[in-house]
């Protein structure tokens, strides 16, 4: 059995935990409203006003003038994510993180030690609440697709089990928009054919689905039956480190997408440094509204864990390597592969040529920010970016 654990409004919930006076107020974690800042996370009070992640902060403020805006503190979120993951590892070694705030867990081989998958899921949820004072939604199911779907059904603070006995009763009434790969365009096409729910699609034959939708038709048909044969890939066996985000609404603005590339890069680079790893190949993943997905890669001339170096490559890939078609992006991801262990060396600020050694600066910056806050230090490279070209603003 598979668990999907998803923290509710993670960044915003962490900020509420750290500052209890924010509880009950509309809150977003994001960039400056005077620049090109975007919403990284919105609490549920803010969502009542239509505010959601990936929205420009300026627009969010127009929709909710009483909105409180808190700058991201990625080092804090990474540290708490490690604590959450430590709870997961108490129950299973097979943990596949999708981002800082969600992961798949395969507990199939652990049920003899810790009880049923449902029991394990409830214990994990309770430990996150009691130890970290945060709330997670948990889905329990036979495969990854169903587990992720289950975790979203009763948010926030949800707990849903989908078993073989309850599979069709749970899936059939659901909108096809909940299927992986069904964006707005595909949903409209399905509805024009009279297919608005899982049950409508399940009543077709596999051949009919292929005839109507081509190669993806069989994919949709399998999902309508709750089928997914992907395995949980444990992080400890992974050959790359990546983060991706699916937007609540498709994004067409390149500047907003660049801002998201920066935030995803900070997460990836921070995770590399926290695990004493480096990577040589930078990967960009883009999924359009029609579910067409492309990846682009470019290799550095040396392995790195530097936010600035990875950002330079990832942002260039976004700006120059996409196909000639309108931007209409529903998912964006940044990753690093060709991973190798970082070899510690004496900390110094400049190499023999007088150039900054970015990994060392990043490490020192991580430590200072962890102790004194995100804005205690800024990279000199961010000033160069600001002078040389407009840059997405995730912070002041």
Q: Which residues participate in catalysis according to the annotation? A: 102
39/259 Cα distance (integer angstroms): 10
Q: What is the DSSP letter of 344?
A: -
Among 4, 65, 143, 79, which residue's Cα sits nearest to residue 275? 79
Neighbours of 65 (CB within 10 A): 8
Secondary element (H or E) of residue 70: strand 68-70
The set of residues, in sequence order, having a beta carbon less than 8 Å from that of 172 and lying 6+ positions away, is 197, 198, 199, 202
The set of residues, in sequence order, having a beta carbon less than 8 Å from that of 89 and lying 6+ positions away, is 95
Among 65, 38, 77, which residue's Cα sits nearest to residue 54? 38
Contact between 238 and 104 under an 8 Å Cβ cutoff? The reply is: no
Q: What is the helix, strand, coil percentage profile of the chain, to 5? A: 45, 25, 30
164/154 Cα distance (integer angstroms): 19
């Amino acid at each position: 059995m598979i668990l999907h654990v998803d923290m509710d409004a993670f960044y915003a919930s962490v900020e509420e935990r750290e500052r209890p006076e924010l509880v009950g107020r509309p809150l977003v974690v994001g960039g400056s409203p005077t620049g090109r800042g975007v919403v990284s996370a919105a609490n549920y009070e803010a969502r009542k006003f239509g505010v959601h992640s990936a929205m420009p902060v300026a627009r969010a403020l127009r929709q909710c003038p009483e909105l409180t805006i808190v700058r991201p503190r990625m080092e804090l979120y990474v540290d708490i994510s490690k604590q959450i993951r430590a709870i997961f590892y108490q129950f299973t070694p097979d943990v596949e993180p999708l981002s800082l705030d969600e992961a798949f867990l395969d507990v199939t081989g652990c049920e003899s030690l810790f009880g049923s998958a449902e029991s394990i899921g409830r214990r994990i949820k309770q430990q996150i609440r009691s130890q970290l004072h945060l709330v997670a939604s948990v889905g329990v199911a036979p495969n990854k697709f169903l587990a992720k779907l289950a975790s979203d059904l009763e948010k926030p603070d949800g707990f849903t089990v989908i078993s073989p006995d309850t599979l069709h009763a749970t899936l059939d009434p659901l909108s096809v928009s909940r299927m992986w790969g069904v964006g707005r365009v595909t949903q409209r096409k399905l509805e024009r054919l009279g297919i608005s729910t899982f049950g409508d699609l399940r009543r077709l034959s596999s051949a009919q689905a292929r005839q109507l939708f081509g190669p993806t038709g069989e994919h949709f048909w399998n999902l309508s039956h709750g089928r997914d044969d992907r395995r949980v890939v444990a992080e400890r066996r992974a050959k790359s480190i990546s983060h991706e985000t699916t937007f609540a609404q498709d994004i067409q603005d390149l500047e907003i997408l660049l801002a998201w590339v920066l935030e995803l890069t900070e997460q990836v680079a921070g995770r590399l440094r926290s695990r004493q790893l480096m990577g040589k190949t930078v990967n960009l993943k883009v999924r359009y509204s029609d579910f067409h997905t492309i990846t682009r890669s470019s290799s550095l001339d040396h392995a790195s864990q530097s936010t600035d170096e990875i950002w330079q490559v990832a942002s260039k890939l976004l700006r120059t390597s996409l196909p000639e078609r309108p931007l209409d992006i529903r998912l964006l991801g940044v990753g690093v592969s060709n991973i190798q262990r970082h070899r510690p060396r004496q900390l110094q600020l400049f190499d023999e040529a007088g150039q900054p050694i970015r990994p060392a600066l990043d490490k020192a910056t991580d430590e200072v920010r962890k102790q004194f806050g995100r804005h205690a230090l800024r990279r000199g490279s961010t000033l160069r970016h600001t002078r040389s070209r407009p840059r997405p603003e995730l912070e002041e």
